Structure 1
Amino acid sequence: MENSKPIVSVIIPTFNRANLLIPAIQSVLNQTLEDFELIVVDDASTDDTQQKITGIDDPRVRYILQEKNLGECGTRNTGLGAVQGQYIAFLDSDDEWLPNKLEKQLNVFQSAPDEVGVVYSWLQVMNDQGKIVRMRKPDINGDVKDYLIYKNLIGTPSTVMIKKECIESDLQFDTNLRCCGDWDMWLQISESYQFEVVPEPLALYRDHDEDERGSTNHAMVTEGHLVFVDKHHQGIEEFYRQPSTLDNKHKSLYLFEIGRRLMCHGHEIGLVDAINTGKRYLYLAALANTFDVYLWMNYFAACCGSVFYTSSIQLENRLRSKLGSIRRKVTFSYSLQ
């Protein structure tokens, strides 16, 4: 039949997350838009993922088992090679969607100019108990590459829908990146396409610790960021000085974030290259916003070594947490008066 292909292909990569995977799948099956295929790519799991998937009675669900573990980027690429829809949506196997996620993003695409290739949304962050603890509200639209060169402002892939034509030039997730693979993909797409955001939360991001999670594993964070900056930040010392849609204050904040991450995570695994690169980014951050004393304090603390720097950051975080707790108690006290 001419219209037998689904309009949206959903890709869920997964590895040893059988219990978290089922709620993720259910959030897709509960979508108000029903014209989709769901491709679950199992990255050689050793738990009971396969048994749980085969127990789902829905013809829209397709299961692909990889015999060899390929990592997150390789697993997403397997999914990309199997899609049939005009649009592609990604969902991490520990996240969930709100019921109208696909419908709202598709509506944006259908009314947007042809040059729009990506539609993403805000997201709610939930803890292990499923309680919403905060919300992320990214809001960059249009030509976003000046932003994405410094920071993954899009966030988790679970908020993103792309046109299939975005990858028809053989664009894939870079398997050399143990983390930052999605950041790298959005940056590459931004070279040719515009981005739009739905200004409301359509995805639920589960904030939890997991050894194989790219955002919390020290080795994956450091190695992924080192590969990313080597790939995209050649000549960054001069590049950040060039005029762009991003002002110097924001550039300094994003350079600072990369530097702090490399310093702290690099220290945890004793990776000298990451520590040195992190210190260089902290210096560039201070240069980009010369009169920000806090940035210079961070750079000089880094010059004292990674042990001193990470200890000072841990102390700062404890103080911020304590002050935040006191502020919340004072606010609550006043509200009772």
Structure 2
Amino acid sequence: MSLQQECEPPLVSVIIPTYNRSEYLKLAIASAVKQTYQNIEIIISDNCSPENPQALVESFGDSRIRFWRHQQNVGMLANQQHGFKMAQGKYVASLHDDDIWNEDFLTKLVPLLEANSELVIAFCDQYIINASGKINKIGTEENTRAYKRDKLAKGIHQSFYKIGLIDKSIPTAASCVIRNNFIDWHTIPSEVGGMWDLYLTYLCCISGGSAYYYPERLTQYRAHEQTDTMLSGSRDVQAKIRKAKSEMFCYQVFMEDPRLQHFKTYFQRKWLEANTTLGIGLLRSEQIAAARPYFWQVLNQQKFDVRTIAALTLSFTPRVVASKLMKIPK
């Protein structure tokens, strides 16, 4: 091996799953290309966008970019996983097609992993930006506090179940770097769906490795009308149904894991909440008979829950009357 090869920093695979967001995608790719940490491959996995982004990708003229386009829409999770399965790097990092990295994101996180072989993940804080890319200062501070990163100590956390799965402090989807060989990307079940980032955090937690928190905002998470939480109407209902099913699957897995028994009560509560959310989603989509078993499931175990009782009562109320009487909490 030559001296140059010995001194060369390890390869990092940057995964950018995308679907029909060419303007945002351009900014995301640019933020990856401009990383001060240069030894990277940029894998762009397109989920059969109506507007093929291949020309946009090729316009960067960067040999580090690898582009893959599915011939049909395979779903968000499969598209995401495909990018990770293509990764050749020692480390992997996910970049959403509508988010942005600071130029020193990889430069500041990768050396932390290199310095300690027991680390499975290094993560940072993030800015919240709006559709036009302007930083939402209030939203940013609220986000940091909501996920308790304002109270999280800088440095190594050897057992991070609570940080990752309870406080959800680790923004696995877009603000971390993961040691690639700790995760088997082929075994993530399809039922994980839109909760893939929480499940990925779970896989990191049970890997036996440690986590490192770098308390600086090195990424920009975009909150805009195309995100699931900003959808409206029937699309909103379907998004909530999908999310609830994914939550139920994940929390069921967590409840059954003997390594997580200390947190079983919390996971059970979240699983029951997801049951109610799914029932409400089905109720709103006029699938009344399908909704009721989820409400009964909750009441059989939790006995009294105002949200669930209200939803179950509404399911027996004539639809014309029900729409005027009450609005079910989301």
TM-score above 0.5: yes
Q: Are residues 119 and 313 of structure 1, via their aligned partners in 2, closer, same or farther at CA, if it must alter by over 3 Å?
A: same
Equivalent-residue separation in structure 1 for 2:100 and 2:291 (angstroms): 33
Determine the C-alpha separation between the residues in 1 that align with 2:111 and 2:299.
42
Which of 212, 223, 241 in structure 2 is aligned with 1:196?
Answer: 212
Residue by residue, what CA displacement relative to the aligned partner does 1:27-64 show, whole Å, maximum 9, x if unpaired? Answer: 11222212211111111112141111111111221111
1:225 and 1:299, CA in 2 relative to 1: closer, same or farther beyond 3 A?
closer
Counterpart selection for 1:301 from 310, 315, 320: 310
Q: What letter matches 2:310 in structure 1?
A: A
Distance 1:122 1:151 in 2: 14
What does 1:115-194 correspond to in 2, within 5 Å?
A: 115-133=118-136, 134-135=139-140, 136-137=143-144, 138=147, 139=149, 141-146=157-162, 152-155=168-171, 157-167=173-183, 169=184, 171-192=186-207, 193-194=209-210
Give secondary structure in 1 for the equivalent of 2:106.
Answer: helix
Q: Specify the code of the residue in structure 1 equivalent to 2:314.
A: G
CA distance in 2, matches of 1:63, 1:51: 10
TM norm structure 1:
0.73
> Of the candidates 238, 261, 282, which is equivalent to residue 219 of structure 1?
238
Kindly tell me: are residues 234 and 165 of structure 1, through their superposed partners in 2, closer, same or farther at Cα, counting changes over 3 Å?
closer
Shift of 1:153: 4.4
Residues of 2 paired with 1:302 and 1:147: CA distance?
Answer: 32
Assess if the C-alpha contact under 8 Å between 2:276 and 2:295 holds in 1.
yes
**CA shift digits 1:269-309 (9 cap, x unpaired):** 3455567546755887x78xxxxxxx954454344336689
1:65 corresponds to 2:69: yes
Give the whole-Å Cα distance in 1 for the aligned partners of 2:96 and 2:85.
17
Q: Work out whether 1:49 is the aligned partner of 2:53.
A: yes
Aligned to 1:208: 224
Classify the secondary structure of the residue corresponding to 2:72. coil
Contact 2:195 2:247 in 1 (8 A): yes
The answer to whether the Cα contact below 8 Å between 2:93 and 2:176 also exists between their aligned partners in 1 is yes
Q: 1:264 to 1:207 in 2, by over 3 A?
A: farther
CA displacement, residues 203-262 of structure 1 (integer Å, 9 cap, x when unaligned):
211112228x488443243234324423541695x999x962x597x7698568646644
Q: Residue 235 and residue 20 in structure 1: after superposition, are their counterparts in 2 closer, same or farther (change >3 A)?
A: closer
Specify the SS of the correspondent of 1:26: helix
The 2-side partners of 1:58 and 1:235 are apart by: 42
Counterpart of 1:74 in structure 2 is: 78
Structure 2 counterpart SS, 1:313: coil
Residues 283, 296 of structure 1: 8 Å contact kept: no
Q: Cα–Cα, structure 1 residues 233 and 247, in superposed 2: closer, same or farther, change >3 Å? A: closer
CA distance in 2, matches of 1:101, 1:310: 47
Shift of 1:190: 1.6
Aligned counterparts of 1:158 and 1:118: Cα–Cα separation in 2: 12
Q: Is the 8 A contact 2:17 2:47 kept in 1?
A: yes
After superposition, the Cα gap between the structure-2 partners of 1:296 and 1:229, relative to the gap in structure 1 and judged at 3 Å, is closer
Sequence identity of aligned pairs in percent?
Answer: 21
- Cα distance, 1:163 vs structure 2: 0.3
Q: What's the TM-score, normalizing by structure 2? A: 0.74
* Secondary structure class of the residue paired with 1:197: strand
Post-superposition shift, 1:97? 1.0
Equivalent residues of 1:142, 1:195 under 8 A apart = yes
Give, as a single letter, the amino acid of the residue that structure 1 aligns with 2:122: V
Q: Which whole-Å CA distance do the structure 1 matches of 2:264 and 2:200 have between them?
A: 24
- Size of the alignment, in residue pairs? 299
Q: Write the distance in 2 (CA, Å) between the matches of 1:59 and 1:247.
A: 48
Amino acid at match of 1:73: L
Aligned-pair Cα RMSD in Å: 3.7
Q: 1:310 to 1:91 in 2, by over 3 A?
A: farther
